Structure 1
Amino acid sequence: MTKAELYKELNYVNHSREKRLKYAYLVIDNPEIITPLLEILFDVDDKISCRAAWVFEFMCGEKLEAIIPHLNTFTKNISKVHLDPAVRPVAKICEYLIKANYSKTDHLIKTHLTETHKEKITEACFDWMISDQKIAPKAYAMNALYLLGLEYDWIHPELIIILERDFQIQSSGFKARAKQILKKIKR
């Protein structure tokens, strides 16, 4: 499938779980589509990029290892994503990667996620925390930063400052997640 054909196909992707899964499996079954999918995803001013992000998130949810050959491209470009419907799935993928990296079970991600990848994810997560984002990207970022903070001692103090500063002005969803994270950090 060419990039142009994939672009056309993405017009059929909608919010339904069924459609997102259908296209996620199409990508899993045809890994050569991942490169053009990422090119579309990171064409960040095009509304279709959001649909590419949805498909990529579902692909990662089903088979996270498929991202491994594309980690450099993904982490290099995540900070460019700015449309709300694309930020949420990209933040979710970052959370998937960090959870896999710090999980107690063996995961291929652990041997492929480099310091540079973790730096780029950390940077993007902090950007989502301090910018005007919806609750979902902030929640995914909080979780990822909490886990990263177990390895990098400077992250938790910075995260605490942001959570405590924004606590009063954020939504109840933010407050609930922030309480959880603060409790874990202070343990």
Structure 2
Amino acid sequence: MNELTTIIAHTTGYKNSRQDTADYVLAHPELLNEFISICFQSENPDHYKACWALELIAIEQLEWLQDYLPLICTRSKILTNESAIRPLSKVLFLLLESHYKKTAHAIHFTKEQLQEMIELHFDWLITDCKVAAKVYAMRCLYLLGKEYDWIHPELKTILEKDFCTHTPAYKAVSKHILKKI
């Protein structure tokens, strides 16, 4: 076990602990490749802890993830641990938001990667994921629907159908998205 894997293994759900892990990776960008790899090793019992830190890294250095989009897009769908999916759903939202803002440091998805994102987010929205992943999925699909005109009608149908059966958080974001569509 090297220092990075030890740090990840000792990460707890507390914000300070997650931030310490993120800060370690931010201070050692040469470890980013290994760190990202751990995030998507579902067989690694600590991969979800790495995802917790990935969310904080994305908030501070989103552009670092540009080179990892192929891995992120293909491997996100294999994760099943809700503790990994929740922070990853936020990371994907930040990446897609950056893609559509078209700023100097914007993230650039390929058409194939955008298709993978559409599939993944519809999967998260219609399967038995926790509410945070569903909320980020609907936000991502709303963004993607600005480019792919068939998404908004599909999203609207799902949100209207599922509205009554979900939590207040789901309903609040759903209502917000429905108004924008």
Q: TM-score range by the shorter chain?
A: over 0.9
Are residue 12 (structure 1) and residue 10 (structure 2) matched? yes
Q: TM-score under structure 2 normalisation? A: 0.93
Question: Would the aligned equivalents of 1:50 and 1:85 in 2 still touch at CA under 8 Å?
Answer: yes
Return the offset for 1:47.
2.9
Structure 1 residues 136, 36: CA separation in 2 closer, same or farther (over 3 Å shift)? same
Whichever residue aligns with residue 142 of structure 1, its letter is M
What do the CA deviations read for 1:42-89 (whole angstroms, capped 9, x no partner)?
111433011010111110011100101111111110101110100001
Aligned to 2:88: 90
Aligned to 2:21: 23
Shift of 1:107: 4.0
Identify the match of residue 34 of structure 1 among 32, 35, 42.
32
Asked if 2 retains the 8 angstrom alpha-carbon contact of 1:79 and 1:124, the reply is: yes
Q: Does residue 155 in structure 1 map to residue 151 in structure 2?
A: yes
1:39-78 aligned at under 5 Å gives the runs 39-78=37-76
Among 129, 135, 142, the alignment partner of 1:139 is 135
C-alpha distance in 2 between matches for 1:34 and 1:160: 38
> Relative to structure 2, which stretch is displaced further, 114-123 or 169-178?
114-123
Q: Contact 1:101/1:107 (CA < 8 Å) preserved in 2? A: no
**RMSD of aligned Cα (Å):** 1.5
Which structure 1 residue ranges, 5 or more long, are not aligned? none
User: Contact 1:75–1:121 at 8 Å: present in 2 too?
Assistant: yes
Matched position secondary structure for 1:151: coil
Name whichever of 172-181 and 10-19 sits farther off. 10-19
What pairs up with 1:103-122 in 2 under 5 angstroms?
A: 103=101, 106-110=103-107, 112-122=108-118
Identity score, percent:
35
Q: Distance in 1 between matches of 2:111 and 2:142?
A: 16
Contact 1:148 1:155 survives alignment (8 Å): yes
Structure 2: where are the runs of 5+ without partners? none
